[in-house]
Structure 1
Amino acid sequence: MCRHLAYLGAPVTPAELLVEPPYGLHRQSWSPRLQRFGTVNADGFGLGWYADGDPLPARYRQAGPIWSDENFTDLARVVRTRALLAAVRSATVGTTPERSAAAPYAADGWLFSHNGALAGWPNGLGALAALLDPAELLGLAAHCDSALVWALLLRRLRAGEPVEQALAGVVAEVVEHTEARLNLLVTDGRVIAATAWGDTLFHRLEPGRSVLVASEPGDDGPGWTPVPDRSVLLATPDAVVVRPLEPSRVQPPLPSRKESLIR
């Protein structure tokens, strides 16, 4: 499992969100309070953020633990942003230990993180991988379950599906083929979308100013609201909407490239 966080709102430094809170994401790398699977998130970390006027995010990722990276400490202190996504990683057995596997993943202006795991990785997931065409499989960001989930989501986003529908569709696809924990988190710098499926998720809204969505609260202050399991969330600095996530009611998965050619 992993821990992750996304923010939209008034300009802040990453340090204000990740390092300075007493139980922030930085501390969650070695001492998470609510993590249900795994105990330490030291298999990599990443930060993605948006600069004003640029729709494409910048990223800083490493394969080692966040607490050992002095460059991150400096970066988090001086960067200011209105939108970011950050994650610390606890790797699924059998996945690559390299920086490429550290969230956030990025494409087309989106940032993505997966807190969870696909059972049996990589064995038994051939039917799920077959939903992607060969080019999409060859283009996987890393050899890991999170990269496969990201490719499935990106496929739907590029087909024009609204992000909430795309997230629900991916959950439906994955759980049809394997047991999984699927707390997914994605942002384009304007909206945050997330799923709670198998682990904790919280949000904190200051209407008109900011919204924070995180695996667990970074402090014991007021305003943190738990997201029910098996839910999908859409958040902006003005509002948070949470709906039940019921894969049986989701539209059928998008056809694979092979199926499309047959039609």
Structure 2
Amino acid sequence: MCRWIAYSGTPILLSRVLFEPTHSLIDQSLHSRMGVETTNGDGFGIGWYGDDTAATPAVLRDVGPAWNNRNLREVAHHVRSGLFFAHIRAATGTAVQQSNCHPFRHGPWMWMHNGMIEGFRLMRRDLAVAVDPALYPDIEGTTDSELMFFLALTFGLTDDPPGAVARMAGLIEETAHERGIRNPVQMTIAVSDGDGLWAFRYSSEGRSRSLYFSTDVATLRGLHPDAAFLQNISDETRLIVSEPLGGLSGAWNEVPENSYGLVQPGRDALHSFHPVRPAP
């Protein structure tokens, strides 16, 4: 389906994460080890916050593969950010076009997704009608991923991200079950407002796509005192990835099934996740 990376911490060049690791996101675009598809070449996108975290994040998206895009390489080697997203796409039935590439943006919020809504074609109209009419004109593409984002915005993402995502997933499951679709939701999601970073791993069938978070930096320094790059990043630095970027022992931890995590200044948090039927 897709692969993605979310980074939060010490501002670094995007290329340090996108290109340099042994199993970088660029490598995964050709040689994914844990995805449904080995190759993820149906477009890519990066989104990053600058020094003014209250501002709208910058987004660069294109329909070509990430592995040979000169603009991506140019930007990644010159832009520094302390919070950024990167996504490589393997389409699941919707068109390969720029407006369907992740991450999606609305105001200060960014959203990216790996997975699908089973039976989306049958449910698209009903789900679209549930979007707040004031938000609906801002939907640009045709993907289930973007519609999930706008449903979450409708259900209060800006005030309560976990609750909004739970209500979004609950609506999809309720709508699907009315049509005899048993396991409609498959999702790993990253969402941020430039301050907090939330990541969700859930599927209706209990067999979700892969998702990992990095071990805290202080622990990694103790495990690998000779790793020079660990000396130049803060203890707050954290990565969430569809699959590990390299073989550094002890560096990666699987996000549990049906859970979400919050990366924030201070102590991170990991919680269980359960869809909730939204109020009428």
What secondary structure sits across from 2:17 in the alignment?
Answer: helix
1:85 is aligned to 2:85: yes
Which residue of 225, 248, 253 corresponds with 2:278?
253
Q: Identify the residue that residue 227 of structure 2 maps to in structure 1.
A: none
Q: Which moved more, 1:198-207 or 1:142-151?
A: 198-207
Deviations 1:112-140 (CA, angstroms, capped at 9, x unpaired): 00101111232233332221244544431
Q: Is the 8 A contact 1:3 1:25 kept in 2?
A: yes
Comparing 116-125 with 39-48, which one deviates more in the overlay?
116-125
Partner of 2:116: 117
Tell me the residue number matched to 1:217. 244
Contact 1:6 1:187 in 2 (8 A): no
Aligned positions of 1:50-129 closer than 5 A? 50-55=49-54, 56-93=56-93, 95-129=94-128
Superposed displacement of residue 54, structure 1: 4.4
Cα distance in 2 for residues equivalent to 1:65 and 1:88? 8
**Structure-2 separation of matches of 1:246 and 1:133:** 23
| Structure 1 residue corresponding to 2:257, chosen from 222, 229, 233 | 229
With normalisation by structure 2, the TM-score equals 0.83
> 59-68 or 117-126, which moves further after superposition?
117-126
Give 3-state SS (helix, strand or coil) of 2:155's partner: helix
Mapped partners of 1:123, 1:180: distance in 2: 14
The equivalent residue for 1:203 is 213
Please give the alpha-carbon distance, in whole angstroms, between the structure 1 residues aligned to 2:265 and 2:75.
24
CA distance in 2, matches of 1:118, 1:11: 35
Mark the CA change 1:126 to 1:145 in structure 2 (over 3 Å): closer, same or farther.
same
Q: 1:149 to 1:70 in 2, by over 3 A?
A: same
CA distance 1:25–1:239, change in 2 (3 Å): farther
Give the TM-score, by structure 1 length: 0.88
Amino acid at match of 2:68: S
Q: Does 1:14 align with 2:14?
A: yes
How many Å separate the matches in 1 of 2:159 and 2:174? 20
**Code of the aligned partner of 2:212:** F
Report deviation, 1:27: 1.1
2:167 to 163, 166, 169: 169
Q: CA RMSD in A?
A: 1.8
For each residue in 1:200-245, what CA deviation from the matched residue of structure 2 results, as whole angstroms up to 9, or x when unmatched?
A: 1111132633011111111111221111111111112543322121
The verdict on how the C-alpha distance between 1:134 and 1:163 changes in structure 2, with shifts beyond 3 A counting, is closer
Cα 1:215–1:61 change in 2 (3 A) is same
Q: Name the residue aligned to 2:153.
A: 154
Listed as ranges, the gaps of 5+ residues in structure 2 are: 177-183, 203-207, 219-234
Paired with 1:17 and 1:5, the residues of 2 have a C-alpha distance of 9
Deviation at 1:74, TM superposition (A): 1.2
Unaligned regions of 5+ residues in structure 1, if any? 256-263
- Supply the distance in 2 between the matched residues of 1:161 and 1:253 (Cα, whole angstroms): 15
Paired positions, count: 249
Check if 1:141 corresponds to 2:163.
no
Tell me the equivalent position of 1:45.
44
